[in-house]
């Protein structure tokens, strides 16, 4: 009977040691698995110490940050996850392009002047400055077309009329 209790005790102690001596997962094994789990998220790196995963890096969206944390937490033997990933802020909106009154006037003047190859018209502050050479009858036609654009002034001092 004593032998039976002794044998049972020895087996119980042996079983206890076998369970207690079961090897803990190595950080390097966890690191390999975590790295594979987060590799689809560019810019994220992981470090493992005593089963605690620390994520770091930079991502472009909050969803990517959350996804990396979920992927790391899903790995077997991970005790906890410290998420140090930063999300880059979106770029500031582009400054609006200022459109001046001269821009629309320049476009309209270009349409009018295209039929008058010897004439050049500059637009500045709503004033049209006409230079070049043109026949008198064609100048009258051009002048009426330019006046129809309602500029502040049409300055034709630099135009030679034949």
pLDDT in tens, 65-108: 999 999 999 998 899 999 999 999 888 887 776 666 678 888 88
The beta strand positions in the chain, using DSSP E, are: 44-49, 52-59, 80-87, 119-124, 127-134, 153-161
Q: 127-134 and 80-87 as β-strands: parallel, antiparallel, unpaired?
A: unpaired
pLDDT of residue 4: 64
| Both structure tokens of 41 | 């998220």
Model pLDDT for residues 110-136, shown as the tens digit of each residue: 998 898 888 999 988 889 899 998 888
pLDDT recorded at residue 103:
83
> Cα separation of 123 and 87, whole Å?
48
Please tell me the least confidently modeled range out of 8-17, 51-60, 101-110, 130-139.
Answer: 8-17
Cα 151 to Cα 131: distance, rounded to the nearest angstrom: 16
Instruction: Specify the pTM.
Output: 0.46
**Residue 72 and residue 107 in one domain:** no
In a domain? residue 5: no
Same-domain pairing of 112 and 140: yes
Domain boundary among 54, 87, 120: 87
Q: Which domain holds residue 130?
A: 101-161
> What's residue 35's pLDDT?
87
Distance CA 33, CA 5 (A): 45
For the residues 54-75, what does the mean pLDDT come to?
Answer: 92
Q: For the domain that residue 80 is a member of, what is the CATH number?
A: 3.30.1340.30
121 and 78, same domain (yes or no): no
Q: Is the domain of 106 the same as that of 138?
A: yes
Residue percentage of the chain with pLDDT more than 90: 26
């Amino acid at each position: 009977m004593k032998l039976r209790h002794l044998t049972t005790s020895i087996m119980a102690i042996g079983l206890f040691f076998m369970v207690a001596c079961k090897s803990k997962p190595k950080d390097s094994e966890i690191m390999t698995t975590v790295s594979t789990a987060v590799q689809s998220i560019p810019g994220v790196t992981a470090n493992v110490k005593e089963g605690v995963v620390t994520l770091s890096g930079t991502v472009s969206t909050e969803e990517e940050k959350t996804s990396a944390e979920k992927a790391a937490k899903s790995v077997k033997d991970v005790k906890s996850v410290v998420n140090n990933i930063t999300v880059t802020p979106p770029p500031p909106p582009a400054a609006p392009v200022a459109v001046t009154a001269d821009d629309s006037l320049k476009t309209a003047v270009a349409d009018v002047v295209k039929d008058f190859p010897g004439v050049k018209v500059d637009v500045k502050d709503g004033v049209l400055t006409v230079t070049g050479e043109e026949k008198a009858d064609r100048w009258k036609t051009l002048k009426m077309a330019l006046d129809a654009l309602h500029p502040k002034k049409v300055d034709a001092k630099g135009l030679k009329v034949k």
